Chain A
Amino acid sequence: MANIAAKRIKREFKEVMKSEEVAGGAIKLELLDNSWTELQGEIAGPPDTPYEGGTFLLEIKVPETYPFNPPKIRFMTKIWHPNVSSVTGAICLDILKDQWAAALTLRTVLLSIQALLSAAEPNDPQDAVVAKQYKENPTLFALTARHWTHAYAGGPAAIRDFDAKVQRLLDMGVDEHQARVALSTYDWELERATEQLFNREE
């Protein structure tokens, strides 16, 4: 079985390399080992989204039963999105689960993940906190997502107010990522975020 997996991945790797998306810089694929089981994907944040300008790295693990079972993919780059866990990077996408078909390829999967960044599915959330904000406060969600893109994915747009609040917590000795998570979770209300951070440590 393993040789089918390796053969397929080799072919798909070539397919991605030749594709117009790679030429256009929208997706990238890199091999991490010689056994064709671990790869690193890269997708560009789609234009007109809070992820624009950011570059997101994906961990791709190819199971032995590939392509009869889907590849295991998660975000390595931290991202604020309803269908991606802000903690583990796990992705909630049907084609990576029950809607997987053996005829799908890494290229189509990467493009689907990129499409997910343009059109979130808040009713099928991976991260309940993010999904709630997406539905109840879309403006704040977009700003938060943009801030995360700037902080973790090299996005261009800094949001000064948010940076200032993160800095306040850093001055109190809080870890930067923890500070960002707490503030994002509590709609950037410094007081509530602080309270949550310090209560948890007790």
Chain B
Amino acid sequence: MSAESDMEYSDNDGDDYDYYGEHDDCDMETVDRSKSDPEYFIYSCLKVEEVEKLLNESIELLSNSLQVTPSLAKVMLHAYEWNAQEIINKYKENANEVLVYSRVKPRVASLSQASTSRAVCAVCANTPPIHKYSALACGHYFCNDCWAMHFEVQITQGVSNTIQCMAQDCEVRAPEDFVISHVPKSTLRERYQQFMFKDHVKSHPQLRFCPGPNCQWIFRAWVREGARRVECRGCELITCFSCGAPHHAPTDCSTIRRWLTKCADDSETANYISAHTKDCPKCQICIEKNGGCNHMQCGACRFDFCWVCLGDWKAHGSEYYECSRYKEDPNLANDSQHAQAREALKKYLHYYERWENHARSLKLEEQTLASLKSRINQKVMAGEGTWIDWQYLWDAARLLKRCRYTLQYTYPFAYYMEVGPRKELFEYQQAQLEAEIENLSWKVERAETTHRGDLENQMDIAEKRRTTLLKDFLELNTNVASSSSKV
């Protein structure tokens, strides 16, 4: 795709339209995404009932093949991270070991005499009739009132799957049917079952609750490492399946955690430095950024400049978009510790400013998206075409959001990268992506005056830059790292 397709949209005329029309791959992107999209990840977004069904299938399978109660099957599945097949295989080899590991049975036969007798309850010191005692597989008998009280206290504290026997040093766990039969209050039983469900999802390696506030949806996927993009069907939040943080490709889970912690620690300094307004580099009038695009035009003097580096925008139109690249001072090694500390802060702020800036642009573009939707609706209502005719604007704004999101997460990645040819390549690609995203943003904000073909062309370029970068640098641990050094 030609790199000259810049903002001179007025040059395009009708002839180009048909040509560009063929490249309308926004509608086609669902076709075989595994090849075109480096972030492609198979997952499903399930409702609570669907997950319950899923869990019940495992429970039934285990309970039928081992001839145990569903309650015991749950205790075992929880201990073996829901790998029913593994339990079945191991059970055939050594049933006792599986039961001990799952804490269904005690490791050694119960010795404590006090608790095995049914004359005095060791907990409450009462002497109820012998039929009012019960015990788990460990044989530690306590009176039913004490069991009820024990479960009530545990459930109130949020414990469910891991409630243990009341005897000293006994780690045997109480299965569901035992708990339920001893808890008289129905509200408490319901809470117990809710906690059980949450605990099951958390202990299941293929499941993760959507981290959105009050969101009830649950993701299911088969791989739990590397940056894995999942989008919630309920709250539309985009997170990483592996770690639950906001999605962060190309940065990996541990790096983004380090970066976010660092940002939280250092934000005071950074906030101070990256203010919301800047002065026009030419006429010094104070400018507030009100759109996502970093290609700024001063309202007073019409000077075109870059919001990030305040340099002339003309210099950015060329192939090399310089301003995303942080240059390390070659004389650094000779400098004093103080200077090195300053250099480290400078380096951090360079990346942090860009990270923050794109985050802010994303928020502003969110507004663009909303207003675009209402403008399209107005057009459709006024009879100027149908939704399908204007769909491309909507697609463009969505694509812009996706591209800028990835761009934002390239900065923590670059910050932690070691200096070398690979980093140079990364920053080159990052600069290319950034340039195309700003072009796209400029055009989306002026969508109605931009030619459709031109806009779609720009969409294609930006998305290709994004996927190229991700293909080369998104290291999903399934392949050997540095698989992309061949580029």
State the A residues within 8 Å of B (CB): 1, 4, 7-8, 11, 65, 67-69, 101-104, 108
Task: Decide if B149 touches A68 in the complex (CB within 8 Å).
Answer: yes
Which of B115, B126, B142, B149 is in CB contact (< 8 Å) with A1? B149
Which of B125, B140, B167 is in CB contact (< 8 Å) with A7? B125
State the B residues within 8 Å of A (CB): 112, 114-115, 122-126, 140, 142, 146, 149-150, 152-154, 164-170
Contacts A4-B149, A68-B149, A69-B153; A103 near B168 (Cβ below 8 A)? yes
Task: Decide if B168 touches A101 in the complex (CB within 8 Å).
Answer: yes
Question: When chains A and B are docked, how far (Å) is the Cα of A67 from the Cα of B143?
Answer: 14
By DSSP majority rule, is chain B's interface helix, strand, loop, or mixed?
Answer: loop
Task: Decide if B123 touches A8 in the complex (CB within 8 Å).
Answer: yes
Q: How far is the CB of A71 from chain B (nearest CB, A)?
A: 14
Question: When chains A and B are docked, how far (Å) is the Cα of A8 from the Cα of B142?
Answer: 14
10 nearest interchain CB pairs?
A: A102-B166, A68-B153, A11-B125, A102-B123, A101-B168, A103-B167, A4-B124, A103-B122, A103-B168, A68-B150
Residues of A within 8 A of B170 (CB): 101
Task: Decide if B125 touches A8 in the complex (CB within 8 Å).
Answer: yes
Residues of A within 8 A of B152 (CB): 68
Question: When chains A and B are docked, how far (Å) is the Cα of A1 from the Cα of B166?
Answer: 16
Task: Decide if A103 touches B123 in the complex (CB within 8 Å).
Answer: yes
Question: When chains A and B are docked, how far (Å) is the Cα of A65 from the Cα of B153?
Answer: 7
Task: Decide if A102 touches B146 in the complex (CB within 8 Å).
Answer: yes
What is the chain A residue whose CB lies nearest that of B153? Answer: A68
Task: Decide if A103 touches B115 in the complex (CB within 8 Å).
Answer: yes
A-B contact pairs, 8 of them (CB 8 A): A4-B124, A65-B149, A65-B153, A67-B123, A68-B154, A101-B165, A103-B112, A103-B115
Residues of A within 8 A of B140 (CB): 103
Q: How far is the CB of B135 from chain A (nearest CB, A)?
A: 12
Contacts A1-B149, A68-B153, A69-B153; A103 near B166 (Cβ below 8 A)? yes
Residues of B within 8 A of A68 (CB): 123, 146, 149-150, 152-154, 166
Q: How far is the CB of B189 from chain A (nearest CB, A)?
A: 18
Question: When chains A and B are docked, how far (Å) is the Cα of A102 from the Cα of B168?
Answer: 7
Task: Decide if A101 touches B153 in the complex (CB within 8 Å).
Answer: no
Residues of B within 8 A of A8 (CB): 123-125
Task: Decide if A101 touches B149 in the complex (CB within 8 Å).
Answer: no
Task: Decide if B125 touches A102 in the complex (CB within 8 Å).
Answer: no
Q: How far is the CB of A124 from chain B (nearest CB, A)?
A: 18
Residues of A within 8 A of B125 (CB): 7-8, 11
What is the chain B residue whose CB lies nearest that of A95? Answer: B168
Task: Decide if A101 touches B124 in the complex (CB within 8 Å).
Answer: no
Task: Decide if B168 touches A108 in the complex (CB within 8 Å).
Answer: yes
